[in-house]
Structure 1
Amino acid sequence: VTRAKKYRAKTRKQLVRPDYSLDLVRREFHAEAPNRLWFADIPYVKTYQGWLFLAVVFDIYSRMVVGWAMASKMTAELVDNALRMAIARRNPPSGLIHHSDHGSQYCSLLLGSTMRSRGIRPSMGAIASPWDNAVTESLMSTIKMECVHRFIFKTREEAKLEIFDYIKRFYNRVRIHSSLGDLSPLEYEQQQLQTVN
């Protein structure tokens, strides 16, 4: 019996920032208000055409997916596009923390430049420590279980459409979380806004 080799993503060398970011989160997976703490990751999606990489940015306050981008290659541009989408949709204040792992895409000069231009503070968990990104791993597991692994995608385009629909129409608007009092991310943010007003 032969075992299939485990897939290991190959990435192009990125122009990397020399200063690796500190862990500003320290496993404190909560925020007092929206747009204070964002988490980011890149799950892989298998299709008959090849891999599709999904860069996701979500707000820990409400578990809302605030930005995403998809591409056939895992590049600095991919994560930068996801962050730019999140910035355009949320217009966060200066001082927001963006937490990720130490992937070369998240250490890139391109992403660092985007963060600096908006006053976003980069944060990274320890290398090879999944516990520092436990909440991200949990969200990625949810997306994979409820969307990605339910289908056999023939093309990357088919996968993109299904993932877009899942995030936009189901996950953010309908999918409840016990940590949010059994509300969806959108319902939770709306409820908190009414409480403040």
Structure 2
Amino acid sequence: MHAELKVLGKNYKIKTVQNVMQENGIQAQLRRRFKTKKLQTDNRVITPNILDQNFTTDQPNKIWVTDITYINTNEGWLYLAAIIDLYSRMVVGWSMSNSINKQLVIDALLMAVDRCKPVKNLVFHSDQGSQYTSKNYQFLLNIKSIISSMSHKGCCYDNAVSESFFSSLKRELLIDTSQHSAQQARTAIFEYIEIFYNKQRRHSTINYCIPEKFDSSFS
């Protein structure tokens, strides 16, 4: 209740809210908060699959898809989170870390939001990984006016665009990351995304245009 009032601009003290609720016989029932839209189990929030494997859209920043992949280096695993705009297939946000945690996906989301400044009600599709289903991450999406969509459990086809991007990245990287350090892998991935993929690589889904140019040509 306190969090919801705060989002609405009502900055009451927690104790004040608790007292009013107690006086009126109101009890906090967290499981009912997302009853019509979301399934909440303990610390996880599962949202419906809005896309249903329809990976087309008519304008930029209307639907983003995201996922995490593992990059093998000679120092251990490096984790990459990427966010792709379904309209242009441009990677609008990404983050790399030696740890697979909520901060990895938060950093990618904040990059995408800062870069694209999407309008209200953008659809954000992910799998049901714990990073995406955490209450903190779902709250961040809510305050950014972003609508969460999730793949059915264990169905990789529901997030095929992200899977395809990671496959292309690993196939087209100029180095074998398993033979290089994590820092060298980071540099190679940065160059692949920001110099090659977004700015030079032609994509069959957008009539062999370049993602960044296709995005900028929208009017």
Place the TM-score, normalised by the shorter chain, in its bin: 0.7 to 0.9
Task: Mark the runs of 5 or more structure 2 residues left unpaired by the alignment.
Answer: 1-40
- The yes-or-no answer on 1:111 pairing with 2:140 is no
- The yes-or-no answer on 1:66 pairing with 2:92 is yes
Secondary structure of residue in 1 paired with 2:78: strand
Q: Paired residue for 1:89?
A: 115
User: Hey, what's the Cα distance between the residues in 2 that align with 1:132 and 1:58?
Assistant: 14
Q: Paired residue for 2:186?
A: 160
1:12-51 aligned within 5 A: 17-51=43-77
User: Hey, what's the Cα distance between the residues in 2 that align with 1:135 and 1:56?
Assistant: 11
Please, what TM-score do these two structures have when normalized by structure 2? Answer: 0.77
Judging changes above 3 Å, is the alpha-carbon distance between structure 1 residues 78 and 163 closer, same or farther for their aligned structure 2 residues? same
User: Hey, what's the Cα distance between the residues in 2 that align with 1:54 and 1:141?
Assistant: 13
Judging changes above 3 Å, is the alpha-carbon distance between structure 1 residues 151 and 18 closer, same or farther for their aligned structure 2 residues? closer
| Superposition deviation, residue 154 in structure 1 | 2.4
Aligned partners of 1:17 and 1:112 also within 8 Å: no
Secondary structure of residue in 1 paired with 2:45: coil
Superposed CA offset, 1:7-33 (max 9, x none): xxxxxxxx9744311001111101110
Secondary structure of residue in 1 paired with 2:131: coil
| Superposition deviation, residue 110 in structure 1 | 2.4
Judging changes above 3 Å, is the alpha-carbon distance between structure 1 residues 114 and 153 closer, same or farther for their aligned structure 2 residues? farther
Secondary structure of residue in 1 paired with 2:91: strand
Superposed CA offset, 1:66-87 (max 9, x none): 0000000100110011001100
Aligned partners of 2:57 and 2:86 also within 8 Å: yes
Supply the AA of the counterpart residue of 1:60: L
Tell me which of 87, 101, 110 is aligned to 1:75. Answer: 101
CA RMSD in angstroms, aligned pairs only: 1.7
User: Hey, what's the Cα distance between the residues in 1 that align with 2:109 and 2:42?
Assistant: 17
Supply the AA of the counterpart residue of 2:112: A
Task: Mark the runs of 5 or more structure 1 residues left unpaired by the alignment.
Answer: 1-14
Aligned residue pairs total 179
Q: Paired residue for 2:164?
A: 138
| Superposition deviation, residue 153 in structure 1 | 4.3
User: Hey, what's the Cα distance between the residues in 2 that align with 1:149 and 1:123?
Assistant: 34
Judging changes above 3 Å, is the alpha-carbon distance between structure 1 residues 101 and 178 closer, same or farther for their aligned structure 2 residues? same
Identity %: 36
Judging changes above 3 Å, is the alpha-carbon distance between structure 1 residues 58 and 148 closer, same or farther for their aligned structure 2 residues? farther
Tell me which of 108, 119, 123 is aligned to 2:149. Answer: 123
Judging changes above 3 Å, is the alpha-carbon distance between structure 1 residues 54 and 186 closer, same or farther for their aligned structure 2 residues? same
Aligned partners of 1:148 and 1:163 also within 8 Å: no
Secondary structure of residue in 1 paired with 2:46: coil
Supply the AA of the counterpart residue of 1:123: S
Judging changes above 3 Å, is the alpha-carbon distance between structure 1 residues 16 and 178 closer, same or farther for their aligned structure 2 residues? farther
Q: Paired residue for 1:10?
A: none
Aligned partners of 2:65 and 2:85 also within 8 Å: yes
| Superposition deviation, residue 148 in structure 1 | 7.4
Aligned partners of 1:58 and 1:64 also within 8 Å: yes
Q: Paired residue for 1:6?
A: none
Tell me which of 157, 174, 197 is aligned to 2:200. Answer: 174
